Amino acid sequence: MKVSLSWLKEYVSVEMKAEELADALTMIGLEVESLSDRYEYLDNVLAGRIVKISPHPVADKLKLCEVDIGGRVIRVVCGAPNAKENLIAPLALPGTVLPDGSRLEKSTIRGESSEGMLCSQGELGLGTDRSGIMILDSAVSPGKKLAHALGLSDKLFEIGLTPNRPDCLSIIGIAREVAAIQKKRVSYPDTNISDKGNAISEISSVRIEAPDHCPRYAARLVENVRVAPSPFWLQDRLMSVGLRPINNIVDITNFILMEMGQPLHAFDFDRLTGQRIVVRTAAKGEQFTTLDGKERILSPEMLMICDGEKAVAVAGVMGGLNSEIEDSTTRVFIESAYFSPVSIRKTAKKLGLNTEASHRFERGIDPEGTVKALNRAAMLMAELGGGRLVSGLIDEHPRPSSRKKIFLSTEKANRLIATTLKQNEIVEILRSVEFAVEKADEDQLTVTPPSFRVDVSRPEDLTEELARLWGYEKIPVNFPLIPSASGKISAQTDFRYGLKQLMTGFGFTEAINYSFIHNRCCDQLQLGSDDPRRRMLNVLNPLAEDQSVMRTSLIPGLLETMRRNISQQVRTVKVFEIGKTFISRGQDDLPEEKEMLAGLWTGSRYDLSWHYQDTACDFYDIAGIAESLAESLKISGVRFAAVSPQDCAYTKPGASARIFAGNETLGLTGEIHPRCISEFDLRQKAFIFELDMDCLRRLIPEVKQSRSVPRYPFVPRDITLIVEKNMEAGTIPEHIRTMGEALIEDVTLFAVYEGASVPEGRKSVSFRIIYRSAHETLEDSKVNEIHKGITDRLIHTFKASLPA
């Protein structure tokens, strides 16, 4: 929020220095982020007297001007038609940065050197006239700084407001705070209109069809106006806070917006069909062209301002091209309304529009300030536009609001902020910011907040007001007495911490993503229509359009993390996340919340090193991580089984598997389907796993079993079999383990091959079996006999053959 000190002084007397005021505002909760001299950019702009003008030798429209800038004459190339000898005009020296951002340097123009620039009002940001150079009073001495010559002096405060203080999104709002600091009163502008009759009711009408979205709508009509440039004082006020002047009618609405914090909208009354207004919600798929020339697709929850036939504005956000003020406009219909903050926020977010009006409406404006702002605007339009104010006021107010009384205990307030304020002092402080206060008894106060303080609704809010206005720096520092207690980490927290330690040990980095995702994520994951993860919960007031629903899977968040890293040229990403997913059970029931652990690996298998070749990670790497995690938790019987495309649409067929521990399903792992890679704009393969945290926690044995270090050596033997191509290789090690052979210690699948040496429709799978006895050293003859028996049984069971 930009605040001009000179504008502020119109409403409150400021006796403090600008720097002192900035500190005082910060101390009461309005953080002044910067304080600057508004006209600092004019330091290198001097008053110059044109002493001689000569024609440019090669350019008919240019002139060579010799300009006296106080004891020194410089040469300037100028094309202004009003440049004359003995004229006093602003001259910008090299190094000046103009308001449009351009920096002046000594230059050569059509072969002639120019040591500066004679400037117009528009070029200096002191008006909009660019037709010729700005002419100064002949009494101004050459060489005098322009800011001094014109008496330009102003300070600009940049205030960072928190969302709970919409009352300060105006110059008058800041003036109220300054008045409280200095114990002064605010001088409000005149907003009273004495109507003699109600002629407007015979000309126009307003009907509110959505009172929940629009509790109040007021309007006035000004006739016979002349649309023209605004006077300089009005343009100057707008430019001081960074707004661009347009014309007197539009400028007045923007002026009131910044002065009083009430957004207004001006319609060309003659372009309103039926000369009436209907406030309704949009039809599904309705199209509307806003003032920026863009066509918008509307949804049913969006509030629209319509005439007798069509929409003419997106309520509280932006007007329409079909009713904007034009140079030919003579009758202006002024809108001043109170719209639901939630409704405006949803509409602005969905349309991707963030305007000065929506910024205020979605935080909450003063519901009782609509008519005051409307009257102020109508009087200015009649004055500056040379028009006539039609008598009467339209004020549709189907849902009047009432100000709630709050009961405040003096003793409790003092105890909360460690002060010893007397009741009279508390009354004085609260009244300084326009709270209505009555004494109920020696301790209790009955306080009614002003209508513009939408953030105050309970005693604690009043106590905060006392603290900030009394002075946070005056509150004594006390160290609270806290009973000593040994904290105990819950079993769940301890379990999560252990998992994080394991995953970081595997080289993964933890990701913490939002629980809110885009409602298109299910489509991007190719989930079937009957997949329970499509039952998403809508967020009532989303932070952004891509955070409109609660997540039903952790995978979209990890894929988005991958996309962001790849966009930053990080090609190898190993991330994991532990978090909850939310699946709707219907409107009347709480959602199903399931805590999951998910991991993602993309890019290289190894870190860049001369030790290793740059090999891409694959399905077996990510499956190995999931298996190693389970083994580290001492979960036994972990096995993998193929997943059908119907079971998991976002993993690639043939490169994905369910993870089991006994008969329990732990989760799944696999390569992300190429279609999903394209949907998420990832451009390289990615491998994921998902594990159910509750299942992991349940399967961890209560008693961790250990075994002694083997006394006798193991004996390895390999088996290579030719099997059907579509057979799951992982079933063979499981089958070997169930054969009941006591000497088998471990079975590992270490190679799968399809190629020229293998018959078509088949593949080669290789396993390593580790044999060991706990009682003796095994002889080769005994191992060979057992190994041959196992090989024969596998060939028979799986209809396999040995390599040729």
pLDDT of residue 283: 94
Predicted confidence band of residue 475 (pLDDT cuts 50, 70, 90): confident
Number of domains in the chain: 6
Q: Give the C-alpha separation, 192 to 180, whole Å.
A: 25
Looking at the structure, do residues 449 and 596 belong to the same domain, yes or no?
no
| Domain presence at residue 392 | yes
The percent of residues above 90 in pLDDT, for the chain, comes to 77
Strand blocks (E) in 149-308: 155-160, 205-208, 216-223, 264-268, 276-281, 287-289, 295-297, 303-306
**Average pLDDT, integer, range 84-93:** 95
Q: Comparing 501-510, 551-560, 757-766, which segment has the lowest mean pLDDT?
A: 757-766
| Domain presence at residue 480 | no
Q: Give the C-alpha separation, 313 to 328, whole Å.
A: 20
Q: Give the C-alpha separation, 159 to 161, whole Å.
A: 6
pLDDT of residue 127: 78
| Domain presence at residue 653 | yes
| Domain presence at residue 194 | no
**Average pLDDT, integer, range 595-606:** 94
CATH of the domain at 690: 3.30.930.10
Looking at the structure, do residues 44 and 98 belong to the same domain, yes or no?
yes
Looking at the structure, do residues 217 and 342 belong to the same domain, yes or no?
yes
Identity of residue 210? A
Identity of residue 56? H
Give the global pTM: 0.70
| Domain presence at residue 705 | no
Looking at the structure, do residues 44 and 163 belong to the same domain, yes or no?
no
pLDDT of residue 737: 83
Average pLDDT taken over every residue of the chain = 92
Strand blocks (E) in 518-559: 549-550
| Domain presence at residue 401 | no
Q: Give the C-alpha separation, 628 to 622, whole Å.
A: 10
As a dihedral over the C-alpha atoms of residue 416, residue 421, residue 424, residue 428, rounded to 10 degrees, the angle is -80
HSE (CB half, 13 Å, CA atoms) of 383? 9
Please report, in angstroms and rounded to a whole number, the separation of the first and last CA atoms in the chain.
82
pLDDT of residue 486: 63
Q: Give the C-alpha separation, 143 to 74, whole Å.
A: 12
Looking at the structure, do residues 175 and 224 belong to the same domain, yes or no?
no
Judging by beta carbons within 10 Å of its beta carbon (0-12, 13-18, 19+), is residue 564 exposed, middle or buried? exposed
Q: Does residue 567 register a pLDDT over 80?
A: yes
> Which residues, 6 or more positions from 489, have their beta carbon under 8 angstroms from its beta carbon?
497
Looking at the structure, do residues 552 and 636 belong to the same domain, yes or no?
yes
pLDDT of residue 529: 87
Choose the final residue of a domain: 373, 396, 419. 396
Q: Tens digit of pLDDT for each residue in 364-415?
A: 999 999 999 999 999 999 999 999 999 999 999 988 878 889 999 999 999 9
| Domain presence at residue 804 | no
Looking at the structure, do residues 168 and 246 belong to the same domain, yes or no?
no
Q: Give the C-alpha separation, 635 to 449, whole Å.
A: 62
Looking at the structure, do residues 660 and 638 belong to the same domain, yes or no?
yes
The domain in which residue 6 lies consists of 2-38+154-182
pLDDT of residue 485: 65
Structure tokens at 511: 């990701």
Catalogue the long-range contacts made by 340-345 (C-beta closer than 8 Å, 24 or more residues apart). Answer: 340/212, 340/213, 340/214, 340/215, 340/303, 342/540, 342/541, 343/212, 343/213, 343/301, 343/302, 343/303, 343/315, 343/316, 344/303, 344/315, 344/316, 344/317, 345/541
Looking at the structure, do residues 84 and 12 belong to the same domain, yes or no?
no
Judging by beta carbons within 10 Å of its beta carbon (0-12, 13-18, 19+), is residue 59 exposed, middle or buried? middle
Looking at the structure, do residues 578 and 537 belong to the same domain, yes or no?
yes
For 399-417, letters b (16+ CB in 10 Å) and e give: eeeeeeebebebeebbeeb
pLDDT of residue 588: 78
CATH of the domain at 45: 2.40.50.140
Q: Does residue 601 register a pLDDT over 90?
A: yes
HSE (CB half, 13 Å, CA atoms) of 79? 9
Q: Tens digit of pLDDT for each residue in 244-294?
A: 899 999 999 999 999 999 999 999 999 999 999 999 999 999 999 999 999
Q: Is the dihedral of CA 283, 285, 288, 292 positive or negative?
A: positive
Q: Tens digit of pLDDT for each residue in 662-694?
A: 889 999 999 999 999 999 999 899 999 999 999
Looking at the structure, do residues 10 and 70 belong to the same domain, yes or no?
no
CATH of the domain at 178: 3.30.56.10
Predicted confidence band of residue 522 (pLDDT cuts 50, 70, 90): very high
Residue 170, number of CB atoms within 10 A of its CB: 25
Residue 654, number of CB atoms within 10 A of its CB: 13
Q: Tens digit of pLDDT for each residue in 257-269?
A: 999 999 999 999 9
pLDDT of residue 705: 72
Looking at the structure, do residues 28 and 52 belong to the same domain, yes or no?
no
Judging by beta carbons within 10 Å of its beta carbon (0-12, 13-18, 19+), is residue 93 exposed, middle or buried? middle
Nearest to 696 by CA among 415, 485, 491, 516: 491
| Domain presence at residue 708 | no
Tracing tokens 């969302």 back to the chain, one arrives at: 163
CATH of the domain at 367: 3.50.40.10
Predicted confidence band of residue 698 (pLDDT cuts 50, 70, 90): very high
